Amino acid sequence: MAAIPFFLRLIAVALGLGVAQWTSDSVSFASGYSFAFSVLILGAVLTLLKPVLVLLMLPFVILTLGVGLWFVNALLVMLTSSLIPGFYLADWGSAFWSAIWVSLFTLGAMAMSGKKDQGFRRVVVHQSGFRRNGSAPGASPEQNPKKAPKKEDDDVIDI
């Protein structure tokens, strides 16, 4: 997953929470200040706590084929709702609904950020103690008549 700048994440969180409030009566904010503080706190929580929670819940995330990430996001939305006095969620479903919207807008922000995956890199692996022809170190090619050593370098593994 490519990292996105914090400001772009805040925009995605603001859009996600705004759409969640607009589409559902169970998500509400008392004022614009509570909305702004909710965006800041949720952005910070997603940046700092989400990687730790995903690591702790990794078997669940793998078992659910990634849908468990929405549950992690819903937990973080509920945490933010409990920290901000003007951010009201009616139930777990409203937190999940908000988490879906925040996730979708964050995915869009990652696509817009322009950060591409570095792709495949060349890794060179050298294993000490063995030669390409299977002989032990220090043994001459005449002692191992199976195979003569190659002249080219085959120690490169493309990953």
Q: Which two tokens stand for residue 156?
A: 């490169």
Q: What is the pLDDT of residues 32-81, one digit of tens each?
A: 999 999 999 999 998 899 889 989 999 998 999 988 888 999 999 999 99
Q: Is the pLDDT of residue 149 over 70?
A: no
Q: What is the pLDDT of residues 102-141, one digit of tens each?
A: 999 988 888 887 765 555 566 666 666 655 555 555 555 5
State pTM to two decimals.
Answer: 0.67
Would you kindly state where each structural domain of the chain is located, as residue ranges?
A: 6-113, 120-159
Q: DSSP assignment of 58-112, as one string?
A: HHHHHHTTTTHHHHHHHHHHHHHHHHSTTEEE-SHHHHHHHHHHHHHHHHHHHHH
Phi, psi angle pair for 27, to nearest 5° = -115, 120
User: Cα separations (Å) of 101 from 2, 34, 73, 115, 123?
Assistant: 19, 19, 10, 22, 39
Q: Which two tokens stand for residue 145?
A: 């008549």
* Separation of alpha carbons 145 and 1, rounded Å: 49
Classify 122 in phi/psi space as left (phi over 0), alpha (psi -120 to 50) or beta.
beta
* Other C-beta atoms lying within 10 Å of the C-beta of residue 98: 31
Tally helices (H) and strands (E) across the chain: 6, 4
